[in-house]
Amino acid sequence: MLAWTVDHTSPDHLSLREVPDLVPGPHDAVIQVQAFAPNHGDLEALPLLPDGTIPGWDAAGIVVAEAADGTGPRLGEVVTSLGPDSAWAQRRLVTAESVGIAPAGADPNAMSVVPVAATSALRGLRRLGPVLGRRILVLGGTSAVGLFAVQLAARAGADVVATTRNPAARERLAGLGAHEVVASPSELSEDVSGVLDLLGGSHLVQAFARLAPGGTLVALGHAAGEEEFFGYGDLFGDAGRHDRSLTTFFLGAEIALGPDMTWLATEIRSGRLDPVVTAVRPWHELPDVFTAGTERSYGKVVLTVG
Ligand SMILES: NC(=O)c1ccc[n+]([C@@H]2O[C@H](COP(=O)([O-])OP(=O)(O)OC[C@H]3O[C@@H](n4cnc5c(N)ncnc54)[C@H](OP(=O)(O)O)[C@@H]3O)[C@@H](O)[C@H]2O)c1
């Protein structure tokens, strides 16, 4: 089969080449990949992966062989599948734990964004506990994870505040369900009960300072690429700052994701969740997508696999 593989002799660390056929283990089904959606983390990891690795965490495709042990998706089902790695190829091995089942008629392009971006948003928000009637900050609202988090938190009944440095993106965030959009946590009109943080650095420290008593900050992403420095007193617990917590998150360590991925796929198919796809391109254009990275509009670029 053809696959994009890590190739450190190439300037973009990738080459599209013929690789040996997959050898399924007893729990593995085989999908024919129809579309994949690169993540920020996939791109960052490329220079660090060994030569020959097939990168990418997210892919949607149709099941062409069931697992020998009878587990997992059925022949002909369209699934959305989560890595690690192995997504940017014509075929991929998947297990029952790594897939969500797409409903009939689902668009594989839209399904390909579910695994990392949408599922991280869902699982990250769950860490905040019930959000109904609570004020929740999505720090980095225009990130792919943030665009899903804004929608899901609003659906769950939160009063959603989102951040973006870009004034032109405010309307988009409001359209997805943000009740308030600010450039940074220092501009918040009131404190918040929870924070889903996709930025890290000084943004995290500022947001922690705006947490109401009992509030939680989930440090999910670090898109700002900065270190975090807490000053003396930042972690005091007094009358206005009692019992605040900060927790880390890694999707790859979460378990039993299948039902959540199936639910997200169904929500997207039904039109209740915007898949935030901004462009669909043929997969041989993958390196161009990376080069154009900083110019792309907010959301996900999907590559269709021939
Ligand atoms: N822990 C996990 O399991 C997990 C899972 C998924 C993703 N992540 C991480 O989550 C983060 C977001 O990923 P993504 O793919 O959703 O990101 P993304 O789509 O690349 O978006 C990054 C966003 O961050 C903002 N940003 C970038 N640099 C910034 C800076 N210096 N200061 C303030 N804002 C800045 C930009 O927003 P504006 O231009 O609108 O300000 C941009 O929309 C990444 O760090 C990723 O690695 C972690």
Distance 201 CA to ligand 1 centre (A): 12
Q: Ligand 1 centre from 82 Cα, in Å? A: 19
Spatial separation of the C-alpha atoms in residues 249 and 244, rounded to whole Å: 17
Ligand 1 in reach of 262 Cβ (< 6 A): no
Q: Is the pLDDT of residue 282 over 60?
A: yes
Q: Name which residue sits closest to atom 34 of ligand 1, judged by CA.
A: 224
Domain locations in the chain as residue ranges: 2-117+254-304, 128-248
Over residues 116-125, mean pLDDT: 98
Classified by CATH at the fold level, domain 2-117+254-304 comes out as: Quinone Oxidoreductase; Chain A, domain 1 (3.90.180)
CA–CA separation, 171 vs 185, rounded Å? 18
Overall average pLDDT of the 224-251 stretch? 96
296 pLDDT band (50/70/90 cuts)? low
Asked whether 163 and 139 are in contact (CB, 8 A), the reply is yes
Per-residue confidence (pLDDT) for residue 306, from 0 to 100? 81
Which of 143, 148, 187, 298 to mutate to test ligand 1, by most ligand atoms within 8 A of the CB atom? 143
Q: 55: helix, coil or strand? A: coil
For 105-128, b where at least 16 C-beta lie within 10 A, e where not — what string? ebbbbbbbbbbbbbbbbbbbbebb
The pLDDT assigned to 142 comes to 98
Q: What percent of the chain has pLDDT over 70?
A: 98
CA distance 209 to 25: 49
DSSP codes joined into one string, 158-222: -EEEEE-S-GGGHHHHHHHT-SEEESSGGG-SS-EEEEEESS-HHHHHHHHHTEEEEEEEEE---
Q: Which fold has domain 128-248?
A: Rossmann fold (3.40.50)
| Residue identifier of the C-alpha nearest atom 20 of ligand 1 | 40
**CB distance 30 to 38 below 8 Å:** no
Compute the distance between CA of residue 128 and CA of residue 112 in angstroms, rounded to an integer: 26
Ligand 1 centroid, distance to 238 Cα (angstroms): 32
| 105: phi then psi, degrees, rounded to nearest 5 | 80, 5
pLDDT tens digit string along 266-276? 999 999 999 99
**128-248: same fold as 2-117+254-304?**
no
Is the CB of residue 150 less than 8 Å from the CB of residue 124? no
The pLDDT of 31-50, averaged and rounded, is 94
Q: Tens digit of pLDDT for each residue in 193-212? A: 999 999 999 999 999 999 99
Angle at 77 between CA 73 and CA 79, to 5 degrees: 75
CB of 120 closer than 6 A to ligand 1? yes
